Each structure stands twice: as C-alpha cells, then as structure tokens.
Chain A
Amino acid sequence: MQAMMNKDAAGTIPPQTRKRKAAEATTSPTPDDTLPNKRPQLTSAGKHQLEGPEAAPPTPLTTTTSHNGNDSHSDADPAADAMDSDDDFMSNLSSEDDMIQEDDSDNDVSNPEDFDFDDEPDLDSGNKDSQQTMKRNYLDIEFKVYRPEDIQKQQDDLVDEVNMILDISKEEAAILLRHFRWNRERLIEDYMDKPRQVLDAAGLAQTAADQPRLQVIPGFMCDICCEDGDGLESFAIKCGHRFCVNCYRQYLSQKIREEGEAARIQCPADGCNLIIDARSLDLLVTPELTERYHELLMRTYVEDKESLKWCPSPDCANAVECGVKKKDLTKVVPTVSCLCGHRFCFGCIYTDHQPAPCELVKRWLKKCADDSETANWISANTKECPKCNSTIEKNGGCNHMTCRKCKYEFCWMCMGLWSEHGTSWYNCNRFEEKSGAEARDAQAKSRVSLERYLHYYNRYHNHEQSARLDKDLYMKTEKKMVELQKQSGMSWIEVQYLQSASQALQTCRQTLMWTYAFAFYLARNNLTEIFESNQKDLEMAVENLSEMFEKPVQDLAQPGLKVDIMDKTSYCNKRRVILLEDTAENLAKGKWTFNVDLVSGAPLVNPTSAPGTSSRR
C-alpha cells in the first residue's frame, strides 16, 4: 500500500496541513531513492496492491477500506489498519477529521492550491513523494463483501432475533421481515403498536392454528380442478382454504419457476392474501424446487436492501454492501471490489469506470452502441443534402445528385445548386458559388461534432483494445517470470515486479479508457486543461511501461531495466490515482462543467459549440 499512499504527493495539499506534513516528511521512512528496493517486497504482499486504495487485501472476510464522504462509519477495522501500516504518519484519526469537515475546511482553503501543481511531474514528483498529504481521500469508498453464507447468516440472525422478541414462529418472523424489507426496528415498533394490522398486511394469520399438513377429507372437492375423488390428498395453510395437492403443487411450481416469485406467494384462494411459508412449501414441492425457492428468497433479501448489491461477475455469489445512495451518483463514482477480484461500480453495476460518473457512462455506452461504427462509415462515405440534410451516399454515376427526399438538385463535388453550374455541367471547376460555399460550410459544422466524438471514441476504443491485449500479455507473464528466474537466477519474489507491471498496465488502461468518455462530456475550462494534462501524463507513462514490458526476457534480466520497470509501474499507479483523486474531488465538490446535464439528461450545450479536440494530442 505504500505506493498507493505516495500518490497523493503531487496532488493537492491544504495549507493547514502543510506544516504537519513538512514535519512528517523529515521522519518519513521512505525517501524517494529507497523506493525501488522496497517495492518488490511490497508487491509480493498482495495482488491487489496495484489496484488503488479501495482494493484491500483479499484475506479478511469483510473488506473495508477507509473513508468516503457519504457515509461516515468510523469503526476501525483491521483492513484499513493493515493498509495504513506502512504510513505511520497517516493517522486514521486525522483523515477522518478531514473527511467530516469536508465542506468547510477543504472547500475554501485548498482549492487555489489545486491548480498550481506539477505540469512536469516527471521532473520533480520524486521530491514531492516524500511529502504526504493529510487531505481527505475522495477515492475511498467504504464497502463490505459478503459470501452467500454470510448473507444467509444475516437473515437467520434477524429472523432469530425477531422470533425471540415478538414470540412468533421463525417462518412468520421471516415473512414479517420480508414485508418490512428487513427493517427490524420498524417491524418491531409497528408490531408492538398494532400487531393485527401488521400481521394482516404481511399476509399472516391471526390464529395460532395447527401446523399445516396433508389430509384426506371425505367429500372434499378441489375448487381449482373440481376433482372430488376418494382419497384425494388436500392441503391448506392457516386460512383454511383447502385445495388438492396436485393443484397446490402446480400453483407453487408455476409461481417459483415461471414467475420467479418466492417471498410473496399467496394462498391460491381468490382474495386471500395469506403468504405461504417456507415450511409448508418444503412439505409440498420437490427438493429441486425448494432449492430454487430459497435461492429466490436469498435474492429478495439482497434486492430489498438498497445498500446491498450482487457482484455482477459470472459465477460469483457474493454481495457487496455500500452506503452510497443513488442520489449521490453525480458526486461520486463508487468503485468497489469483490472478493472474487472483480471491480465494479456500485452505482450502476458496470465494470470499473472511474473517473466517469455513472450517468456519463450510460450515455457514452449508448452513444457508442448507436454511433461509433456507423459514424465512421458515414463520415467516410457520405455527404448531407444541402437542403434537407438527409445523409446521402453516392453509389455511382455522375455528380448531378437529386436528393430522394426533397428533390434538391446539387453537385456532389462542390455541393452547389446544380442549376448554378450553367453549361459547365459535369465539369465542376468553378470555385465559389454562393450556394455551394454555404452548403460546404454547414456540412463542415455538422462534421465537427462527429469528428469530436470520433476523436474521443477512437482513444477510448484504443485503450479498450490495448487493455485486452495486455490481458493476453498477463497470461504470458507467468511464463515470462519463470523464464526470467531461470536466466537470471532471481528468486520468485524478485520477479514479481513483472506481474505488478502487468496489473498496473491493465488498471491504468481501464482508467484511461474512461477518461476519454469523461472528457467527451466536459466543457472546456481550466479544470479540463488540468484533467487533460493529468491524462496525458498517465497515458505517456502507460505507453512507456507497455513498451518496456514487451521486451524480450534476456533484456528484462538486466538489473537496469528491472529498476526502470519498477519505477514506471509505481509512477503509473501514482499518476492514475492522482488523476482519479483530482477528478473525484472536483466531482464531489460539483466543480466540473459538463456539456450534458448529469441528472435529467438533456444536453446543455450543443457539443459542436464546444469543440473539445485537445491541442495536446
């Protein structure tokens, strides 16, 4: 985690903490030049090391990192402690202080400082490394990961508790809890207050009748199938609405299998809202269906709670708990990381998309799905009708075009009115007719927005692809590491730096990819300049590292290159966190100006009027 903490260095330093930092810097155990030697040990400590501060060591069952501004639980947990252990001067206490006061102290004091930091980070960031910031970390999201057995246990615990406090059966307690969306306090309060209404609303019987069982009742006729044979087995829950077992079974299996219903399966009788409890269900259906039923029940537990979400990774049955609410999503990008290693956004369940907020991601993906390939092709092959702006492909023939829609006749070459060509038809050698110039002008404008989009899209796409290639590379990394061990006589631990580099590459590319989607929606201003400068630094570093990483094994064995790669790896990670933190902080403070509305979704400024092609690239 050491590397992670250093990344703050070049970032923003609130003045009031400067002195403290200066003092600490002198006691800092990690002067810059010792870093490379330290790194191998660090990287071997845990594979999550490179993924930023929100990825805590995978060992503890519940993974909690330190704080984010939305929820200020302050239970000290071992994971956070472990993470900070290298940075003795980063006291948990003070970082929490900063967090709580975010809105007064941080806001007004630190901002001017935000803009003056490194434009040439390569040269002097080393010195800044030793300065540690005490400022609140805008990237840290508090979350916990639960395994299926934890989720089950949580439910069981709640059920047991309610079962004891209210003196009702466990099945009934479970039904009540589900009705109250697992809000135990409200359930108990309401139940104490007006037990009758609560039982009624939740679909529970008032009477304590016998445990339901299968019975053969002479003269019974099933109201569903109208069968009345002798020995027909029938069943009823506490409401006493009795149906034959076959109908009951078919009813339940249809509800569970086809409608995916579990928590609210009511008695089959018309107008009866009594809920069928788990025990009755076990009595009636096949074990296979029971299993499905309990799976669905488990699902409703997670889905009922706003603070819980399933890990979207295939075959992962874990759930993540996070306090970030939907309304916070314009202010924060709550990236969490499951025990299975999958990193995703808690807000929209999409794969890690820092630094872009969920709304922008949604729009961007939609735009790309609609536009990208089509737009490329349109850009290359078509022109718009100067009159009605229909997109026209010239699929052969002469330059005399007649728009199918509006019947406008024009020249494909100069876009001018065909009649203005006079007698020089088929020979468009004239330079400036009025209508032609205007048409070309309008055309140019409409292309600007397309080109702007393609600029960002191409870079986004490039990183997406490179990340995929880097992933392949990662598969080969292990082989490389073995080879390198043989050739150089280094120990396994000593070649771990390759894996770190590979992971850094992937993570950084993922981030870079989303910076382009983010930038597409940014209006031009100073903040955007800073953002682009950060983006450029990261991109350059990543490309450098990527190049080094691909070198043949014999080159990698040279000690010089190893140090270079380790340096570059840590530098990339640092630059990534700086960029993300800066973005997250401005997002939290609402400082970005977007050319679309983050909430309602209507474009604020026509993107064409905010030409955003960066002059830096």
Chain B
Amino acid sequence: MASTKRIAKEFADCTTAPPPGISITLPSDADLHTWHVTVTAPPNSVYAPGRFGLILKMPTDYPFKAPTINFTTRIYHPNITNDSLGNICLALLKSENWKPSSKIINVLEAVRNILVEPMPDDPLEQRIADEYKRDRAEFEKNARAYVERYAKGTVNFVQAPDPKDDKSKNNDKNSGAPAANPGRAAGRQGGSGSGSASRPAPPA
C-alpha cells in the first residue's frame, strides 16, 4: 500500500519534531491510519490551559483523500459541533482543497489555530457563532466553563458511537485513555458531564 510509507514518514516527522502544543500516539501499532492527538490550547487562546483529545483517521486512499478529525474532548467552539461527535469544519479538509501533498502536520496546526481564532462566519454551531460575534464576554465565559469541566485532567479518546456502526466504539476503547467507562459516552451525549471518574465534577 502506497499510503503506508507516506503515513509512516509523516508519523515519524510529527513525533520526532512535534509541533508546539501537539503530541501524537498510536492507539494500535498495527494500524497506522488512526492517530490519537492531544492538543494543548495555545496560551493566548480562551481555551488555555485546556488539553483536547482528537482522533485523526486516514482513509485507505490517503493521501488522495483527506483525513477526518473528531474532537473527543467536548469544546465550546463555533466551528466544532457541541456534541459527543466533535465534528470539525476545516477548509483544508474539504475535497476541493485537499491535495495529495498536503500534510497532517499542517492540518494539526490549522486545528490549533482555530482555537485562537474561531471562524464565526463559517460555523457548525450557529448559536455559538452568534454569541461569539455579539457577546464575546459571554462566549469566553462559556468556553472557559467547558474547559474547566471537560478539558482538564487526563485526555480521553473515547469516540461517540457511530450511529451507523456500533462496533467503532469497541475499537477505540482500548486506547491510551484510562479504563473507559461504558456509560460515559452516553453520559456525555446528554451533556450532563457525569459518569467519568477521571474528570472533575461539573460546575454547579
């Protein structure tokens, strides 16, 4: 597979000289196509000092097709869905912009950049985008509350169960995160934030 060599090289590049605020682990040595990425929010962003877990997946025809990224840590952000899926909207990942020679490292830097500078004009969460534009103080307060609630302590890489494919959850369970609590995904979906011992209790 042509992509193996490429991915191995990219992984080596990213781990030997990791870009600032980003660390990468492989959940399984057998599968180079799924990476666990921990992004530490830049100090000048409202999300500092939060640490966010991301799952990065490369399709089999990578690098001809773009990788996919999901936040596993919940985040209050106009461009990232405020649910357990953590979908992110990045121009770089769209098929018309992705080039086979685009590099993962650039994608990760772009992710870190939108933590500093959200793009409220191209939102996935319209409400948060509106708030970001109209009432920055309120936005920052909410974003900080989310960081406080979800983005401190051990980063988890438990991905929400794919509605189409329940098994995906099992693949992610034996990841670098501490013993996954089966109830956690459901708990997070409801937004209650409870159910994970590793996370601090939500603010009252």
A residues adjacent to B (C-beta < 8 A): 223-227, 241, 243, 246-247, 250-251, 254, 259, 266-272
Contact = CB atoms under 8 A, between A and B. Distances in A.
Given A247-B2, A269-B99, A224 B106 contact: no
Nearest to A248: B100
A150 to B, nearest CB: 31
A259 B65 CA distance: 11
B6 interface: yes
A250 B64 contact: yes
Interface string B46-68: 00000000000000010111000
B2 A227 contact: yes
Nearest to A266: B99
A306 B106 CA distance: 39
B9 A254 contact: no
B134 to A, nearest CB: 27
A283 to B, nearest CB: 18
Contacts of B64: 224, 247, 250-251, 254
B101 A268 contact: yes
Interface residues on B, range: 10 to 19
Q: Which 3 A-B pairs have the closest CB atoms?
A: A225-B2, A270-B102, A224-B100
Given A225-B3, A250-B64, A268 B100 contact: yes
Interface of B: 2-3, 5-6, 9, 61, 63-65, 95, 99-103, 106
A270 B61 contact: no
A345 to B, nearest CB: 32
Contacts of A226: 5-6, 9
Contacts of B106: 270
Contacts of A270: 99, 101-103, 106
Nearest to B8: A226
25 contacts: A224-B63, A224-B64, A224-B100, A224-B101, A225-B2, A225-B6, A226-B5, A226-B6, A227-B2, A227-B5, A241-B101, A246-B2, A250-B64, A251-B100, A254-B61, A254-B65, A259-B95, A268-B99, A268-B100, A268-B101, A269-B99, A269-B101, A270-B101, A270-B103, A271-B99
B157 to A, nearest CB: 27
Determine the main DSSP class of B at the interface with A: loop
Contacts of B2: 225, 227, 246-247, 250
Given A243-B100, A254-B61, A254-B64, 14 more contacts: A223-B101, A225-B2, A225-B6, A243-B101, A247-B2, A247-B100, A251-B100, A254-B65, A259-B95, A266-B99, A267-B99, A268-B101, A269-B101, A270-B101
Contacts of B101: 223-224, 241, 243, 268-270
Contacts of B65: 254
Nearest to A254: B64
Nearest to A224: B100
A226 B103 CA distance: 12
A259 B98 CA distance: 12
B139 to A, nearest CB: 32
A227 B61 CA distance: 16
A227 B8 CA distance: 12
Nearest to B95: A259
A271 B6 CA distance: 19
A270 to B, nearest CB: 4
A223 B101 CA distance: 6
Contacts of B99: 266-272
A227 B4 CA distance: 11
A252 to B, nearest CB: 10
Contacts of A241: 101
Most central of A226, A268, A269, A271 by chain B CB within 10 Å = A226
Q: Which one of B5, B65, B100, B102 has the greatest number of beta carbons of chain A within 10 Å?
A: B100
A224 B98 CA distance: 12
A250 B1 CA distance: 13
B2, B9, B103 — which one has the most chain A CB atoms within 10 A of its CB?
B2
Contacts of A254: 61, 64-65
Contacts of B6: 224-226
Contacts of A267: 99
A536 B6 CA distance: 74
A271 B3 CA distance: 21
Contacts of B3: 225
Contacts of B102: 270
A68 B37 CA distance: 63
Nearest to B63: A224
Contacts of A268: 99-101
Contacts of A223: 101
Nearest to B64: A254
A267 B102 CA distance: 12
Contacts of A271: 99
A225 B5 contact: yes
